[in-house]
Homo-oligomer: A and B are copies of this chain.
Amino acid sequence: MSRWGMATRRSDALSQQRIVAAAIEILDADGEQALTFRALAARLSTGAGAIYHHVANKNELLSAATEEVVGAVPGDSILAVALGLFDAIDAHPWAGAHLTREPGQDAMLAIYESLGGRLPALGVPERAWFDAVTVLANYVVGAAWQNAANGVEAARRRDTDRAAVLGAVADRWSADPERFPFVHAIAGALRAHDDREQFAAGVDLILAGILSISDQ
């Protein structure tokens, strides 16, 4: 064996990294239900059982894939980070689904850090940090996933775009003004709204609350 024998190996040898990369390709191309160990093994030209030598189970695989696409979103401000997460979840809806399915996972840690890390510099007192970042993170992930789910729904119904999906939701919201007067009142705003802009307005509302609490 040559002296670089160890370095070359089989060039297609399995690894966590290659498995997660292949999983992300499947998830992005065909959605969450397309990710099965059989499909993943086929794409990696191996057996389904081989994957278990590198990832413990499907949940860990999804967590690793989620960390890959939402970890370390850059941004100079809380709003910039929030919009970065919004875009990442819009591009990878399955990551939004996984983040909400497992609230305590490691990927959430990175989100807490990148959103909350800017609070001290804003002059927010330490006693408010925990509440502030909890509200921010829950809103950012929840609203981004809600938006991404609308995109998935629009893709599922091949004949409609995202505006049509929102219109359909607005119709449903308007359907029962007696039981749901408030929802009926905001249905128009839903129909007219721009997802990303509205998302940013929500972040601003929370920031206003944080600063208002801080002054007390």
Contact = CB atoms under 8 A, between A and B. Distances in A.
A207 B116 CA distance: 20
One complex includes copies of this chain to the number of 2
Contacts of A103: 142, 145-146, 149
A37 interface: no
A138 B133 contact: no
Contacts of A101: 97, 100-101
Interface string A174-209: 000001111101100110010000100110111111
A109 B187 CA distance: 11
Contact of A104 (B102, B146, B206): B146
A134 to B, nearest CB: 6
Interface stretch (A9-17, A60-68, A124-132): A124-132
Contact of A182 (B100, B117, B143, B150): B117
Interface residues of A, number: 60
A32 B119 CA distance: 37
B131 A205 contact: yes
A143 B149 contact: no
A131 B202 contact: yes
In the A-B complex, the 10 residue pairs with the closest CB atoms: A209-B209, A138-B142, A103-B146, A100-B100, A130-B189, A208-B212, A117-B182, A208-B209, A116-B182, A205-B209
